[in-house]
């Protein structure tokens, strides 16, 4: 009886063949690719939503600045004025670039140029503006 158990154990202890290992690695790679295809677009959408939320926060900071100073910062001093007054800590969008601030005749506009960092664009490269956020786009 002990001899049979040893033989069975010896068969099981041999390990996996190269083909079995390759099959397992292939299956894992297919699963990883499927997850990546599903997750990566969601990451870009999350960045766009974060930018929209940041723009709303900046607008609230601008309202506080207006309440303290009686006007909005000019385009030249931009959002740095809010950082200097310790109203905001960060003026970078989710892609690591500064938000663009313009004072258009007493009406502040905040823009993130999206993933590509260039004006215009479609999809994930499209601009995110305080005008669009206010309209719910």
Summarised one tens digit per residue, pLDDT across range 118-128 is: 888 888 788 89
Residue 55 CB coordination number (10 Å): 23
Q: Tell me phi and psi for residue 120, to 5 degrees.
A: 85, -160
Per-residue pLDDT tens digits for 100-111: 999 888 789 999
Answering whether pTM is above 0.75, one says no
Q: Which domains does the chain have, with CATH numbers?
A: 2-135 (3.30.700.10)
Q: Which structure tokens are listed for 80?
A: 């740095």
Q: Of residues 124 and 91, which shows the higher confidence score? A: 91
Torsion of CA 82, 76, 130, 119, to 10 degrees: -130
Q: Is the pLDDT of residue 137 over 70?
A: no
Is 85 within 8 Å of 76 (Cβ atoms)? no
Angle subtended at Cα 50 by Cα 48 and Cα 52, rounded to the nearest 5 degrees: 70
Is 127 within 8 Å of 109 (Cβ atoms)? no
* Of 120, 80, 65, 117, residue with least CA distance to 96: 117
Q: For residue 7, what pLDDT is reported?
A: 67
End-to-end CA distance of the chain: give it in Å, rounded: 76
């Amino acid at each position: 009886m002990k001899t049979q158990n040893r033989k069975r154990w010896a068969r099981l202890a041999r390990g996996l063949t190269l083909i079995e290992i390759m099959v397992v690695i292939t299956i894992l790679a297919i699963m990883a690719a499927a997850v990546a295809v599903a997750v990566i677009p969601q990451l870009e959408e999350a960045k766009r939503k974060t930018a929209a939320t940041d723009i709303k926060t900046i607008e609230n900071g601008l309202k506080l600045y207006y309440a303290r100073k009686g006007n909005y910062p000019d385009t030249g001093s931009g959002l740095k004025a809010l950082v200097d007054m310790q109203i905001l800590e960060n003026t970078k969008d989710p892609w690591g670039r500064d938000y663009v601030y313009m004072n258009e005749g007493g009406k502040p506009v905040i823009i993130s140029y999206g993933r590509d960092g260039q004006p215009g664009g479609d999809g994930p490269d499209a601009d995110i503006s305080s005008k669009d956020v206010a309209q719910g786009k």
